[in-house]
A and B are shown apart, each in its own frame.
Chain A
């Protein structure tokens, strides 16, 4: 197998792949954004005049009053080219001449007809309920889909007071972005099918299917006979994270989470706390089982120590002795996180008034030929219709 010579070019895993995106919302544009990050050439087709409605969604970049100033639009579309459709806003036509993959979110294309016209084209549809089934076309949002799919229920289960803690969706746009990530996976699966000599597939990815599958732990419980899935906590045993051996502790400001779950970790943790007198009480904390039973009394005693220090200090000292511990981060802390900065995790969004950090790909890769995936890239939000 030939090994390519090292070069200064960044690694483009999807070099030569041409993608057309005809999509709005979050999931499908993020799918195409990931493909662009991996080296594909992506053209985003937008409706005329206003472009993707996401261009009008805040927060906005300062010093820019154009339609390129939505920060979220920039995150979802950086690295793509933009072209506008004709006034009829018809489904993509000539734009597909050289494309290997169409990513669409409108559900308005006929994939089979498109493939008759463009025999090499992979068609990836990312829609709320998919192309089949009784719920196809039902009104929805990503929040209602998470509630319908059981994910929101699991996010607030079990709790002591169900009335006070409603079922809920995830943080930020993580749920629809994860759908986009699954779609990017599906897209490359399609490319691999073609690479292996197969016919280009029509791919049907539904957000609802995806959110339902997030409940794999519920499926395990269901398989073991659970049917009620009540939100009211009826027993503590085994309901806490890691079987009750993961604690959240208040600090001088903010919180940490710590999990001294193994005996040797517990011993080191207790030594770090200065081996307080309560730690010698076998009935309180002598074994893993006892520590789980005494989750709350132990939390109170450990908090007396953690309250003296800021979260980063508690985490640093615990990790130094080999105990898993991390702060509950705030967004500001993440932007200054030494680990993330050291690894060059943040890309830079170029704006009229300077660079703004935004998340990049969560992995580094060095190929055996010597090229590496670019990190800390400077990216721009595509100007509406710049290629047309």
Chain B
């Protein structure tokens, strides 16, 4: 398979989640990603938590970007690269002479991607933002569950905004590379994490703007399923999700729960009538499921064509034969399981996958091979703590 991003070099200043997830995907598509790191930053030193999952497919170059000598080296590196990815606060790169305007002086066709909380323009552009707070600001946290002092089950955990930001960011980069190959033009992409999240909440906004009755779907309410939702089964914290959205699924449900009498009842014949009586139908299904084994109920419902799935924990998911067969969580040579690209090609490929690099692992490649520096020059910069 020809690599989509063959010949594309990325200078990656990003950190935390969204940016690293973006550049990991770019690396999986064949780009050469050079992650700019520093022994001065705890995240780069520790490399714990999700770091090995978010930083595959990259080279690591450690350099102190606060030092003028380091900045000069980085400008030389950018001059021989196609893409810069960053998520600093607005003033950091400007202070270091590494802003878009500074870098296009050495690389006019550079593609430069900034991801920030609310974007690099507008009245709140200098505000401080974190992904979890943006999940609240986007409005989704007020829809998934009732806001509560313990931050439970309301869409603050797990991380969402960073993940959708990474998708939009990668999408924007790919489209920009497509344009660059066609026209030779680069450009500046200014991506807002807030907008990335809100863009996926259209029905809530449309309902409000149209003063329409009812709420957008949220949590376990799909809006168009009756019965439908998440129901308790027998056993310790056992749950099942069921969706009945069509006449065929309704007939399947009536058969699965052995209630042919319901199927002939006029008020339930059509979807509209079932939605009007959703509360009753949900109660009926809940009582059928309450004392049943979730796995057995799932099998019975699926056998009758009713969408159903017992709620699974990650331990079940990672060993699911479907996901194993499709290579969703590949094992890397260092033994670490990771996540691959979210699609497969006809050969089952999900992009190249390499373990996350050690800090500064590729310094010799970057400073020696790419920038053409000699051993003495590199050693002098190490001694001067510019490379660290």
Indicate whether A and B interact.
yes
A62-B210, A171-B143, A205-B343 as given contacts; A367 in contact with B130, CB under 8 Å: no
CA distance A235 to B138 in the complex (A): 29
Q: How near does chain A come to B300, taking the closest CB pair, in angstroms?
A: 12
What are the nearest 10 A-B pairs in CB distance? A198-B2, A362-B195, A59-B212, A141-B243, A148-B309, A326-B137, A192-B4, A1-B184, A218-B314, A147-B241
| A59 pairs with B167, CB closer than 8 A | no
B108's contact among A167, A360, A368, by CB below 8 Å, is which? A368
In whole angstroms, how far apart are the Cα atoms of A132 and B203 in the complex?
32
A–B pairs, 23, beta carbons within 8 Å: A1-B184, A11-B179, A13-B179, A143-B228, A166-B220, A172-B200, A177-B202, A184-B171, A185-B25, A191-B178, A205-B343, A222-B315, A242-B132, A258-B133, A299-B149, A322-B128, A329-B136, A333-B139, A339-B123, A363-B172, A363-B191, A367-B187, A368-B186
A135, closest chain B residue (CB): B322
Say whether A277 faces chain B, with CB atoms less than 8 Å apart: no
Give B126-155 as 1s and 0s: 1 = Cβ < 8 Å from A's Cβ atoms: 011110111011111111110111111101
A257 pairs with B136, CB closer than 8 A: yes
B245: interface (CB < 8 Å): yes
Q: Report the bound CA distance from A255 to B239 in whole Å.
A: 30
Task: List 10 other contacts, CB 8 Å, given A171-B201, A212-B320, A328-B147.
Answer: A2-B184, A59-B207, A71-B210, A134-B322, A147-B310, A155-B155, A185-B170, A206-B326, A229-B314, A240-B151
Instruction: Tell me the complex Cα distance, A246–B128, Å.
Output: 13
| B187 CB contacts on chain A under 8 angstroms | 11, 365-368
Contact pick for B230, options A152, A154, A330, CB 8 Å:
A152
Q: A34 near B: Cβ within 8 Å?
A: yes
B266 at the interface (CB under 8 A from A): no
Quick one: closest B residue to A165, CB to CB?
Answer: B153
Chain B's closest residue to A363 (CB) is: B191
Q: Is B72 an interface residue (CB 8 A)?
A: no
Say yes or no for B46: interface residue by CB 8 A criterion: no
Question: Is chain A's interface secondary structure helix, strand, loop, or mixed overall?
Answer: mixed
Instruction: Mark interface residues in A229-270 (1 if CB within 8 Å of B CB, else 0).
Output: 111100000001110001010100001111100000100000
A101 to chain B, nearest CB (A): 12
On whether the beta carbons of A259 and B130 are closer than 8 Å, the reply is yes
Q: Which of B2, B7, B239, B322 has the most CB of A within 10 A?
A: B322
Docked-complex contact A324 and B190, CB < 8 angstroms:
no
CB-contact partner of A203 in B119, B199, B344, under 8 A: B344
In contact, B210 and A339 (Cβ under 8 angstroms): no
Residue of A nearest to B304 (CB): A139
A189 contacts the other chain (CB 8 A)? yes
Closest to B174 in A: A188
Nearest opposing residue in chain A for B306, CB measure: A139
Q: Which of A142, A160, A197, A359 contacts B202 (CB 8 A)?
A: A359
**Does A358 contact B132, Cβ atoms closer than 8 Å?**
no
Q: Which residues of B contact A144 (CB under 8 A)?
A: 241-243, 307-309
CA distance A381 to B183 in the complex (A): 31
- Quick one: CB contact mask for A166-195 with B, threshold 8 Å, 1 for yes? 111111111001100111111011111101
- Which segment of A44-52, A87-95, A340-348 sits at the interface? A340-348
Which residues from chain A contact B318 at a C-beta distance below 8 Å? 219, 222
